[in-house]
Amino acid sequence: MRVRRCDGLKGEVRVSGAKNAALPLLAASLLVERFELENFPVLLDTLYALRILELLGREVELLPGRVSVKGGISSVRIPYEISSLFRGSLLFLGGLLGAVGRAEVAHPGGCAIGSRPIDQHLKFLSHIGAEVELEGGFVKVKLPPEPKARAFTFDLITVTGTENALLTLAGLRGEFELHNAALEPEVLDLVEFLKKLGLEVEVKGRSFLVRSPGRENLKREVSHRTIPDRIEAGTFLVAGALLGEPLTVKGLEVSHLGAVLEKLREAGAEPEVLSPSEVRIRRVERPRALEVQTAPYPGFPTDMQAQFMAMLTLADGVSLIVENIFENRFQHALELARLGASVEVRGKTAIVRGVERLKGAPVNATDLRASAALVLAGLVAEGETVVGKIGHLLRGYEDLDGKLRRLGCDAELF
């Protein structure tokens, strides 16, 4: 994407449905005969997920703003050609297990932001008595008719691990306790969907008590609306803190953005909450330096770390960013340095020394959120910035260039 320095972002922007909510919901669609999802974000990752549903035998219809899925499941195998394209493919393991009790999913492999093992997903399955085999790059799983155990505690907090467990449990009749679960809004949105199917789920702290009527007794037809993308919203709020004249971000969910709004305030921005779904933000003369530590929700999201780093490259003072979730999620630091930023990475800490200005240059996106950070930096850097390997961005941001153009900036995909 080519981005030129922008004088100001003026007007309103509406955020799309959340990618990381739509993906588990599409996997959950395997549990019902007919499924409709509104506020559906059209992105590479969600389109890949629709392709998986088709490969499994489902009929998919993509309409403006929504998707409908129906028909039977004729295969339980997800080939490497598609699973390797996106990590979210792993959610179809849980979806298939919940729906039919069997799945063969090609291991999605590592990813640019860390080794990303799936041991917790498999540990849960073995714990409930599933046969788990790793063969020829595939994870092959067969569920027992009844779970062997009725409680499981995750060793660490995992978002898709929790979602996979919930999807699997939807198919198994009876009560089950999940402890040390992830509480990200996207996980809780899946819980809301599963409740519509007939599950009872109580959330107490980081524990879920799940009661399922069993796969034969689930509701057959369900529709749902995807929650707003809190990371896209956060990305625009950072853009607003850099360039808002003012910028109003609409269609978000303020209650999902607590840690992000808090850090923006600490940086000197004054986000005004106009309603539970609208925030107005103006540019800050010079952001104040911050200390940011990523943590599972409700902590500061790792998916906003790169965008905050882009903002802090121009801060007044020295910022410290600690990445606690992924071990290799600072690759954007080197790319930001190409624009004149001063970032030193020491293990899981990045030390960002604020500079007066950035200068446009060719850079490469290293992962999805890194690509958004480079676009943000490109908007404030002198001259022109060309962000290469933009395929990463297309996996998770719907029409980012179009949205930026409508706010008065010069951003162009080519």
In the complex, the residues that contact ligand EPU under the rule CB under 6 A are 20, 23, 87-88, 114, 116-121, 156, 158-161, 302-303, 325-326, 368-369, 396
Helix (H) / strand (E) containing 244: strand 244-250
Q: Is 6 tagged catalytic?
A: no
* CB-nearer residue toward ligand EPU: 186 or 401: 186
* CB-nearer residue toward ligand EPU: 378 or 396: 396
Q: Quote the CA–CA distance of 182 and 161 in Å, as a whole number.
A: 8
Helix (H) / strand (E) containing 260: helix 258-266
C-alpha 186: how far from chain center: 8
Q: Is the Cβ–Cβ distance between 174 and 212 less than 8 Å? A: yes
DSSP state letters, 35-59: EEEES----HHHHHHHHHHHHTT-E
Q: Which residue type occupies 31? A: L
* CB-nearer residue toward ligand EPU: 292 or 314: 292
* CB-nearer residue toward ligand EPU: 121 or 332: 121
Q: How far is the CB of 213 from ligand EPU (least distance, A)?
A: 27
Q: How far is the CB of 390 from ligand EPU (least distance, A)?
A: 15
Place of tokens 């799936």: 118
- Rg value, the chain, Cα: 21
Q: Would you put residue 28 in left (φ > 0), alpha (ψ -120 to 50) or beta?
A: alpha
Place of tokens 């960013």: 321
How many separate helices (H) and strands (E) can be counted in the chain? 14, 24
* CB-nearer residue toward ligand EPU: 158 or 385: 158
State in Å, rounded, how far the first CA of the chain is from the last one.
Answer: 6
* CB-nearer residue toward ligand EPU: 114 or 213: 114
Q: How far is the CB of 355 from ligand EPU (least distance, A)?
A: 26
* CB-nearer residue toward ligand EPU: 121 or 283: 121
Q: Which residue type occupies 341? A: A
DSSP state letters, 339-373: TT-EEEEETTEEEEE--S--B--EEE--SHHHHHH
Q: How far is the CB of 254 from ligand EPU (least distance, A)?
A: 19
* CB-nearer residue toward ligand EPU: 1 or 284: 1
Q: How many CB atoms lie within 10 A of CB 58?
A: 21
Query: Which of the following is catalytic: 62, 100, 111, 112?
Result: 111
Alpha helices in 5-156 (DSSP H): 19-28, 44-55, 80-83, 91-100, 119-127
C-alpha 278: how far from chain center: 20
Residue 21's closest CA among 359, 216, 319, 297?
297
Q: How far is the CB of 332 from ligand EPU (least distance, A)?
A: 12
* Phi then psi dihedrals of residue 4, to 5 deg: -110, 155
C-alpha 166: how far from chain center: 18
Within 13 A of 1's CA, how many CA atoms are on the CB side? 29
Cis peptide before 79 (omega within 30 of 0): no
Q: How far is the CB of 369 from ligand EPU (least distance, A)?
A: 5
Q: How far is the CB of 192 from ligand EPU (least distance, A)?
A: 16
Q: How far is the CB of 211 from ligand EPU (least distance, A)?
A: 24
Residues noted as catalytic: 111
